[in-house]
Amino acid sequence: MTTDVNTYPIFSHEARANPQAVYKDMRDNDPIYMGVGPQTGNHIWFFTRYDDVVSVLRDQRFIKDVRKNLPPELAQRYVMEDPDPTFQMINHHLLNMDAPDHTRLRSLVHKAFTPKAVRDLEQRIQGIADDLIAEMKTQSSGDLLDLFAFPLPITVIAEMLGVEKERRDDFRRWTRTILFGTDMQASQLAVMELVQYTNDLIKERREEDRGDILSGLVRAEEDGDTLSHMELISMIFLLLVAGHETTVNLIGNGMLALMQHPDQYDLLKGNFDLMPTAVEEMLRYNGPVETPTTRFASEDIEVSGVTIPQGDIVLPSLLAANRDPAVFENPDTLDITRDPNPHVAFGHGIHYCLGAPLARMEGTIAIRALLDNFPNMQLNTDVDKLEWSQNLLLHGMTAMPVRW
C-alpha cells in the first residue's frame, strides 16, 4: 500500500481520457491506494481489485450519510464542504442514504419501476430511436451524442416523469451545470430553477394523476408511508441524472468500443442475436460510471489486510474492477460473446442501480438501431482528440464526432 500524496495521477486531465491505464498501474502495484483530494485534502481510498470493490459495495459499514453515521467532529469535514442549504433540496435521495432510510425510500420508488412498467416502454423507446435515425439520415456526419445518444434517454425519462418537450433542454442544462459546473453561482441558480419547476410538476400531480412515474411517486405508499416533498424533488433530480446521463455514456462508449474493434462491430451487425451479451460486454469494457457516489468508513474497517480509518472516503472503482484479470480473461479485449460476464457496471449491494433493466433496454435498442441503419459508422476525429468528463463519477465523452 502506498500513502504518498497522489502517486497515481487519477485526478489529471489525461487520466479522465484513459483512466484504465492509471487503474491498471494501481491494481498491479497498490490495489488499495490512499490518495488526497486535490481541493479538500481529504483522504480518498481507491479500490481496484474486483473482490475488494464488491466487498466494499456490499459492506454497509461503508456509509453514505455522514451526519447520521459519523461522530460530529469527523462528519464536519464533509458537511462544511456543502454549507449552502440550496443543494440539500436535491441531495436527499437514495444514493445519499443508508438503511433503514434507504430501504424505506427504495421500496416506495420501486413501485414506479416494476418489470411490467419497463417492458411497456419498449415500443415507445423503439419509436423514439426510429425518429432520431430518420433525422440522422438527412445528414452524413455529426455528433452522435447530440443527435442520438442524448435525446433518446432524455426523451424516455422526461416522458416517464411528464416533463414537457420544450423543457427537456432545460433539464439537460440544469443537471450538467449542477454535476460538472465550476461556477458556484451558476450551480445555485440551476438548482433553484430545477426546484421551482419540479415544485410545479409535483403540484400538478397532486391535483391530477396523469398515469406517469411522477404521479406514481407522488402517490407511492407503503405501510402508510409516503415520500416527503424534499424526497420527491431529490428523487426527480436523481432519476433525471441516472435516467439519461448514464445511458448517454452507455451508447457513446459502447459505439466507440465497437469502432475501435472492427471485428466485433462486423460480428454484431451480422448477428443481432448477440445483442444481450454485447451490451453486457460494453458495460464491462468501458462502462458509463467510473466510481459510485461517495462512501465513508463509519468505523476503522479492514479490507484485505488494510485498515481504512473511520471517517475516510472510499472510492471502489467500477471501471477497474471490470478489467481485473483475476476475474475476466483477456480483460482489455472487447469480446461481445463473453459469457458469463459478472461486471459491476451497475454497482452491487443495496445501492445496485434501480434503473438497470431500463438502461439495458435502451442500450440494446439504441445500438441495434445504429448498426442496422449505419453499418459503416466511423469516428470522425482522432480518438486522442476526444474530450471526456472531468469528474470521477460519470465516465463519458463530451462530444463524439462520427460519419456514416
How many Cα neighbours within 13 Å face the side chain of 388?
26
Contact 379, 356 (CB under 8 A): no
Distance of alpha carbon 341 from the chain centroid: 19
Provide the grid cell at 349. 449491494
pLDDT at 112: 67
pLDDT value of residue 178: 84
Residues 294 and 393: their CA atoms lie apart, in Å, by 9
Strands (E), 294-382: 295-297, 301-303, 306-308, 313-316, 378-379
Handedness of CA 99, 102, 106, 107 (dihedral sign): positive
Cell of 49: 481489485
Kindly tell me the burial class for residue 123, based on how many C-beta atoms sit within 10 Å of its own C-beta (0-12, 13-18, 19 or more). Answer: exposed
Specify the DSSP element, H or E, that contains 142. Answer: strand 141-143
User: Who's near 201: CB < 8 A, 6+ residues apart?
Assistant: 161, 162, 163, 214, 236
Task: Give bridge partners of residue 303 from the DSSP assignment.
Answer: 306
pLDDT score at 222 = 60
- Sheet order of strands, 141-143 included: 141-143, 401-403, 378-379
Positions of the chain with pLDDT lower than 70, given as ranges: 1-5, 80-85, 111-112, 221-223
The predicted pLDDT at position 84 comes to 60
Cα(145)–Cα(399) distance, integer angstroms: 6
Q: What are the DSSP calls for 360-395, one per residue?
A: HHHHHHHHHHHHHH-TT-EESS-GGG--B--SSSB-
Which pLDDT score is estimated for 123?
96
What phi and psi, each to the nearest 5 degrees, are found at residue 143? -90, 110
Query: What is the per-residue pLDDT for 379?
Result: 97
Largest CA distance in the chain: 60
Per-residue pLDDT, 110: 80
Location of C-alpha cell 456526419:
141
Q: Which helix (H) or strand (E) holds 28?
A: helix 19-29
Cell of 82: 456543502
Read off the pLDDT of residues 306-341 as tens digits, 9 standing for 90 and up.
999 999 999 999 999 999 999 999 999 999 999 999
Task: Give phi and psi for 170, each to the nearest 5.
Answer: -60, -45
Output the pLDDT for position 334. 98
Which of 155, 170, 198, 114 minimizes the C-alpha distance to 206? 198
Per-residue pLDDT tens over the stretch 135-149: 999 999 999 999 999
Asked if residues 31 and 48 have their Cβ atoms less than 8 Å apart, the reply is yes
Q: Could you please report the per-residue DSSP string of 81-128?
A: T---GGGHHHH-SGGG--TTHHHHHHHHHHTTS-HHHHHTTHHHHHHH
> Can you give the length of the chain in residues?
404
- Among residues 220, 225, 288, the alpha carbon closest in space to that of 253 is found at 288
Peptide bond into 9 cis (omega under 30): no
The pLDDT assigned to 227 comes to 81
Query: Which residues are bridge partners to 289 per DSSP?
Result: 394
